[in-house]
């Protein structure tokens, strides 16, 4: 039930061996990811190599010790990073930051398969793939940014929690360099029952919703906001480019 802290750690002594950190979900413990930013051992807080990573935390959540910066909390070429807790997963000032991973078959983030968090704040230092966020029973608030591409390859459902998904964005929500596509791959879905006009916000230098991808604001009065990442960038809806 005590806290678990990873400080620039490489836990898998055998290449590709699965990494598990499990706390009692009934307790108040938390998992802390410390990149030692500004310190003598600064680096990725939890370097997974080629391992899948599974983190299950108590009500204290899964947290980044340091404020948003240029170092990742998590990096792996393994297939998935799975996180479960009834607490928060990052905050907007201390997001769980992921290393750049353009391969959509690697470092796929899965959240809430067994325990639903109250908040999810993530950031990709390059391209990030979300394979699923289940927060419908916890009304999870979701805010995900990525410096270049942000891929949704699964289901994001948040009950009445709001959803913000942004490519070509810095961790504070400001524009990056004008390159980065928010992509909803075939079969993926983004759903919120929030009843405000900004129940779901989609941002990017480009936004690509593949043929069977879907975005649904199901709450009465709920809306979907579509914005470019750059304020001066032209927007063409239904165009060919």
Measuring CA to CA, which residue among 161, 212, 236 is closest to residue 191? Answer: 161
Tell me the pLDDT of the chain (241 aa) as tens digits. 699 999 999 999 898 999 999 999 999 999 999 999 999 999 999 999 999 999 999 999 999 999 999 999 999 999 999 999 999 999 999 999 999 999 999 999 999 999 999 999 999 999 999 999 999 999 999 999 999 999 999 999 999 999 999 999 999 999 999 999 999 999 999 999 999 999 999 999 999 999 899 999 999 999 999 999 998 888 777 766 5
Q: Would you say 74 and 98 are in contact if contact means Cβ atoms under 8 Å apart? A: yes
How far is the C-alpha of 188 from the C-alpha of 169, rounded, in Å?
21
Place of tokens 């807790």: 85
How far is the C-alpha of 103 from the C-alpha of 179, rounded, in Å?
17
Which tokens is 54 given? Answer: 């599974």
Cβ within 8 Å of residue 236, ≥6 positions away: none
How far is the C-alpha of 202 from the C-alpha of 108, rounded, in Å?
20
Assessment of whether the complete model's pTM goes beyond 0.85 = yes
């Amino acid at each position: 039930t005590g806290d678990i802290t990873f400080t620039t750690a490489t836990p898998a002594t055998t290449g590709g061996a699965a990494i598990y950190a499990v706390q009692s979900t009934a307790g108040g413990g938390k998992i802390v990811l410390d990149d030692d930013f500004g310190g003598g051992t600064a680096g990725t807080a939890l370097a997974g190599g080629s391992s899948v990573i599974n983190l299950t935390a108590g009500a204290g959540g899964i947290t980044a010790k340091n404020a948003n910066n240029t170092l990742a909390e998590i990096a792996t070429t393994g297939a998935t990073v799975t996180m479960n807790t009834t607490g928060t997963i990052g905050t907007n000032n201390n997001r769980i930051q992921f290393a750049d991973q353009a391969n959509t078959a690697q470092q796929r983030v899965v959240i809430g398969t067994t325990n639903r968090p109250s908040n999810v704040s993530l950031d990709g230092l390059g391209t990030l793939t979300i394979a699923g966020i289940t927060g419908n029973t916890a009304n999870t608030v979701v805010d995900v940014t990525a410096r270049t591409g942000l891929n949704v390859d699964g289901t994001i459902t948040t009950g009445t929690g709001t959803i913000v998904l942004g490519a070509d964005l810095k961790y504070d929500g400001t524009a990056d360099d004008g390159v980065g596509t928010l992509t909803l791959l075939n079969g993926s879905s983004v759903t919120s029952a929030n009843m405000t006009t900004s129940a779901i916000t989609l941002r990017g230098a480009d936004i690509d919703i593949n043929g069977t991808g879907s975005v649904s604001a199901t709450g009465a009065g709920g809306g979907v906001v579509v914005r470019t990442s750059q304020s001066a960038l032209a927007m063409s809806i239904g165009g060919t480019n």
